Amino acid sequence: MNTVFKALADPTRRKILELLRERPMSAGELADHFDVTRPTLSAHFAVLREAGLVESAKKGKSVIYHLRLSVLEDALLGFAAGFGIGELSAPAHPQDPEGTKP
Amino acid sequence: MNTVFKALADPTRRKILELLRERPMSAGELADHFDVTRPTLSAHFAVLREAGLVESAKKGKSVIYHLRLSVLEDALLGFAAGFGIGELSAPAHPQDPEGTKP
DNA sequence: TCGACATTTAGCTAATCATCGAAATGTTTT
DNA sequence: AAAACATTTCGATGATTAGCTAAATGTCGA
């Protein structure tokens, strides 16, 4: 949970998550949206992966990243709930919560 | 908004906010809940104040800190809403339930 | 006014972090 | 097999950060 907030502390990483919200994207495709070098972005991916916020899958030459919405949701709402913020129905996860897919 | 997430990245600062959620507290009273020195805590207060997450008021010998809940709420829910997390706002793109992307 | 108390500022150190260029790894295509 | 491509690892650098001790600032009560 600390790793999630640490990951969220960087604007580049938050933007990566926002891009991934639309659809899964390859590392190179993501890189086209930023001015930093690919090694730098790769390091950001590692932080996000470490926090459980994204998952990666090799696809040919590329590596496809996709968002793990449930992790973001749990961290954000879990923390907010402690403050009485977001007294709202948690939406059913549209995404696989944990590696339960074949 | 970046300053808010940066402020939330530290566990000590998150705990300060949680303590302040119950009631306003003086710097010294807050300090009793942590193992770090008072100057260190004072620096954390400065970060939280800079982010707008707390406000301070001098009261005699003490300085009373109180939470600014609306700032926390705006940052958290504002960010979450962009992901369809948290409220009535439906997700822009319901996530692809895996596999339908060749 | 003096001394005790609460907090902050100042100055420092060690650790962490974002970034880079170059090299390495792995995959596809010719 | 070799060239081309995508991504990551390696090694280095400058910036930021959390932490400390010591000193400064400000406030109250005797």
Average pLDDT for A7-17: 98
Query: Residue B62: which nucleotide is closest by CA–C1'?
Result: C6
Tell me the three state secondary structure of residue A11: helix
Query: Which residues on chain A are in Cβ contact (under 8 Å) with B12?
Result: none
pLDDT above 70 coverage of chain A, percent? 84
Q: Distance (Å, rounded) from C-alpha B22 to C-alpha B17?
A: 9
Q: Is residue B11's beta carbon less than 7 angstroms from any atom in nucleic acid strand D?
A: no
Residue A87: its pLDDT value, please?
A: 67
In whole angstroms, give the CA distance from residue B83 to residue B78: 9
| Cβ-based contacts of B82 with chain A (< 8 Å) | 18, 21
B14 Cβ under 8 Å from any chain A Cβ: yes
CB contact under 8 A, A85 and B96: no
Across the interface, whether the CB atoms of A96 and B92 are under 8 A apart is answered no
Q: Cα(B85)–Cα(A30) distance, rounded to whole angstroms?
A: 22
- pLDDT tens sequence across B2-38: 999 999 999 999 999 999 999 999 999 999 999 999 9
- Chain D bases near protein Cβ (<7 Å): 5-11, 17-23, 26-28
Among B33-42, B76-85, B89-98, name the most confident range: B33-42
List CB contacts (< 8 A) between B68 and chain A. Answer: none
Each residue of A54-77: pLDDT tens digit?
A: 999 999 999 999 999 999 999 999
Give the whole-angstrom CA distance, residue B66 versus residue A78: 22
Nearest Cα residue to B32 out of B8, B16, B44, B46:
B16
Which backbone phi and psi does B22 adopt, to 5 degrees?
-70, -50
Please name the member of A21, A82, A88 whose beta carbon is closest to the beta carbon of B86: A88
Q: What is the second-level CATH architecture of the domain A2-81?
A: Orthogonal Bundle (1.10)
Q: Among B13-17, B39-43, B50-54, B87-91, which is the least confidently predicted range?
A: B87-91
Q: What is the pLDDT of residue A86?
A: 76
Q: Is the pLDDT of residue A35 over 90?
A: yes
First to last CA, chain B: 37
Distances (CA, A) of A79 to B52, B56, B86: 18, 23, 12
Reported confidence tier of residue B88, pLDDT bands at 50, 70, 90 = very low
Q: Is the pLDDT of residue B94 over 70?
A: no
Confidence of residue B86 (pLDDT cuts 50, 70, 90): confident
pLDDT classification of B87: cutoffs 50, 70, 90: low
pLDDT at B22: 96
pTM: 0.86
Average pLDDT, chain B: 88
Residue A89 pLDDT: 42
For residue range A79-96, what is the model confidence (pLDDT) as tens digits?
A: 999 999 976 544 443 444
